[in-house]
Structure 1
Amino acid sequence: MKIAFVTDTGTGQHPDYWEEKGIYCLPLQITCDGESKDEYTEITYSEVIQKLHEKKVLKTSLPSLGKIQDCFEKLKHEGYDTIFAVPICRGLSGTLDSMEMIANQLEMKFVGVDCYCTAVEQGCMIESAKKMYEANIPIDEIIKKLQSIADSCETVLLCDDLDHMKRGGRLTPMAAALGGLLKIKPILHIGKSTNGKVDVLDKVRTMKRAQDRVIKHLKELNVDSNYTFIVAHVDALEAAKEYAQKIESQIEGARVKVIDLVSAVGIHTGLGCLALQVFNEMKD
């Protein structure tokens, strides 16, 4: 059995980054004004941010079926008979199902693991899978380990731009206007408990209260220093740094890394969004 490890740009990394690690990465698509472009290779992250500032309505979609097929056909020609995939989660995209369908059409074996989210956790899972395989760990044990990482993951989004969510159709105009007037901050989350779909955790007034509520939520989940902590932002670096410091001051031993929020999520939440992702790589 010869296995090819496959992911997508939901990881927040350029396909070239994964190529250096021997992992195949397919680009998600970003659509603006009716034109679809491959993430990173045809439209950069900075260009996405600029379009958000221009109040453009952007959409994301799975990699083109043609690109998935071309990739898998190339892998089959190179002697691979099995695809091991950790793409963006099923709750956010049809990528995993499309990969499985095309692998089956090509009569290749397919192993797909749902990460119940995307971003850093997704990247951690596919990289861990390849490392474990190279260490001769059986596939069923690799799957079990990845599932434990996915089970531990929780991602919480604090949205600051309700008008953007209104333009994208995720809030009614009245709800957006009322939310802005009352300074309401919706707290959204995604993980196994939401089956990989974005759901409302709570609604509070002011960003400070929202951050306090998120930290309380982490404590309720017994998140500790064994977890990886990521604060991601949509063009809100200083706010993200302050949020990270607040988390570190209230969860003993936490060390928080600050990064840009992946386009697959940030496009839908808008500018100013702060996202916290935690997961436990060490949990058995």
Structure 2
Amino acid sequence: MNVRVMTDSGSGLTKAQAEALGMDYLPLQVTAGDSTYLDGIDLTTDRLYDMLEAGDMPSTSLPPLGIVEELAEKYEEEGVTDVMLITLSNGLSSTNSTVTAALKSHDINVHTLDLYTTLGVEWYAAQAAAQLAAAGVAPQEIVTRIAEAIEDSKGFLIPEDLDHLAKGGRLTPVAAKLGGLLKIRPILEVSKASEGKVDVWDKVRTTSKAIKKAAEHIQESLTPGKDYVFFVLDSRNPEGAALAAKGLEENGPVKILEQPLCAVIASHTGMQAVGLQYIPKIEGVEV
């Protein structure tokens, strides 16, 4: 069995970072103005943030099928028989199903699952797949271990810029304008409970209260005695990120990985957003 691991830019990895970790990479596309970029290849997170701050309203789309076909042909030449595919949730994108179909048309066995989320949890799942595959763990066992962890994972996003949610259809323009005036902040959930889609979990006055409430709920949701990895993500909101980290450590020090909100997600949440996620540690995985 010759196994490769493949992930997309929803993981927050760049192509160079993914390849350094032994993974193949699928860049989602980001369109701003008249230009379309390959996330993590010719578009950095900082550049996307600059675009958002300049008033751009980007849209996103699937990785180019040409890149998938190139990888599939490479796999055939190298005798790759199995691919571990780690992508953002099916509720957010059809990347998983599209790539799976393309690889199977080349008689490649695809081992995958719905993460029901993206961002830090996807980053961790991709790392897990790569490390466990390198250790000789069978692909289906890797899927089982990741799936078990996903069952006890969750994530929240607190956006500051409601106009981007209105553009994506999550809020009406009137609701976005009223929410901005009243400082109402939706707490968005993207997890198995929301079937991998963006859902409004709650609405709170002010960003700081929303962050604190999300952190409190996470603390209440943890299984006693189980080790977790926590993620705090933001799009140029260091104060919000610090508040989120403080909330997650309310009951004692925990392992928190702080990351920028990746370009393909920030395109929809806008600037100043803050994310909080957690997932149980997977045996044999170090980050």
TM-score, with length taken from structure 1: 0.93
AA in 1 matched with 2:198: V
Contact kept, 8 Å, 2:211 with 2:240, in 1: the verdict is no
Secondary structure at the counterpart of residue 259 of structure 1: strand
- Structure-2 residue corresponding to 1:85: 85
Q: Which has the higher contact order (CA 8 A, sep 6+)?
A: 2
Aligned pair 1:230/2:226, yes or no?
Answer: no
Structure 2 CA distance for aligned equivalents of residues 252 and 242 of structure 1: 15
AA in 2 matched with 1:137: V
Summarize deviations over 1:166-199 as a string: whole Å, max 9, x none. Answer: 3444321210121122211100011111121111
CA RMSD of aligned residues (A): 1.9
AA in 2 matched with 1:229: F
- Structure-1 residue corresponding to 2:269: 269
AA in 2 matched with 1:232: L
Aligned pair 1:260/2:222, yes or no?
Answer: no
Contact kept, 8 Å, 1:234 with 1:266, in 2: the verdict is yes
Contact kept, 8 Å, 2:145 with 2:282, in 1: the verdict is no
Structure 2 CA distance for aligned equivalents of residues 171 and 51 of structure 1: 22
Contact kept, 8 Å, 1:31 with 1:37, in 2: the verdict is yes
Structure 2 CA distance for aligned equivalents of residues 271 and 239 of structure 1: 12
Summarize deviations over 1:130-178 as a string: whole Å, max 9, x none. Answer: 3223333333322110101222221101111113323444321210121
Could you list the runs of 4 or more consecutive aligned residues of structure 1 that deviate by over 3 angstroms after TM superposition? 167-170
- Structure-2 residue corresponding to 1:251: 251
Aligned pair 1:71/2:100, yes or no?
Answer: no
CA separation of 1:276/1:203 partners in 2, compared to 1, >3 Å: closer, same or farther? same
Alignment of 1:89-168 (within 5 A): 89-168=89-168
Contact kept, 8 Å, 1:241 with 1:258, in 2: the verdict is no
Summarize deviations over 1:204-245 as a string: whole Å, max 9, x none. Answer: 111232123212311331256721111100111232123312
Contact kept, 8 Å, 1:125 with 1:149, in 2: the verdict is no
- Structure-2 residue corresponding to 1:39: 39
- Structure-2 residue corresponding to 1:204: 204
Contact kept, 8 Å, 2:165 with 2:269, in 1: the verdict is yes
Structure 2 CA distance for aligned equivalents of residues 252 and 66 of structure 1: 48
Structure 2 CA distance for aligned equivalents of residues 233 and 130 of structure 1: 26
Summarize deviations over 1:92-140 as a string: whole Å, max 9, x none. Answer: 1111101111012112211112221112221222222232233333333
Contact kept, 8 Å, 1:82 with 1:111, in 2: the verdict is yes
Structure 1 CA distance for aligned equivalents of residues 48 and 88 of structure 2: 19
**Structure 2, gaps ≥5 residues long:** none
TM-score, with length taken from structure 2: 0.92
CA separation of 1:85/1:282 partners in 2, compared to 1, >3 Å: closer, same or farther? closer
Shift of 1:278: 0.8
Structure 1 CA distance for aligned equivalents of residues 245 and 281 of structure 2: 20
Contact kept, 8 Å, 1:244 with 1:257, in 2: the verdict is no
* Number of residue-to-residue matches in the alignment: 283
AA in 1 matched with 2:4: A
Structure 2 CA distance for aligned equivalents of residues 236 and 275 of structure 1: 10
Structure 2 CA distance for aligned equivalents of residues 41 and 132 of structure 1: 26
Task: Name which of structure 1's ranges 40-49 and 269-278 shifts more when overlaid on structure 2.
Answer: 40-49
AA in 2 matched with 1:9: S
Summarize deviations over 1:21-60 as a string: whole Å, max 9, x none. Answer: 2211111110112432101212221110011011111011
Structure 1 CA distance for aligned equivalents of residues 168 and 51 of structure 2: 13
Structure 1 CA distance for aligned equivalents of residues 261 and 144 of structure 2: 28
AA in 2 matched with 1:115: L
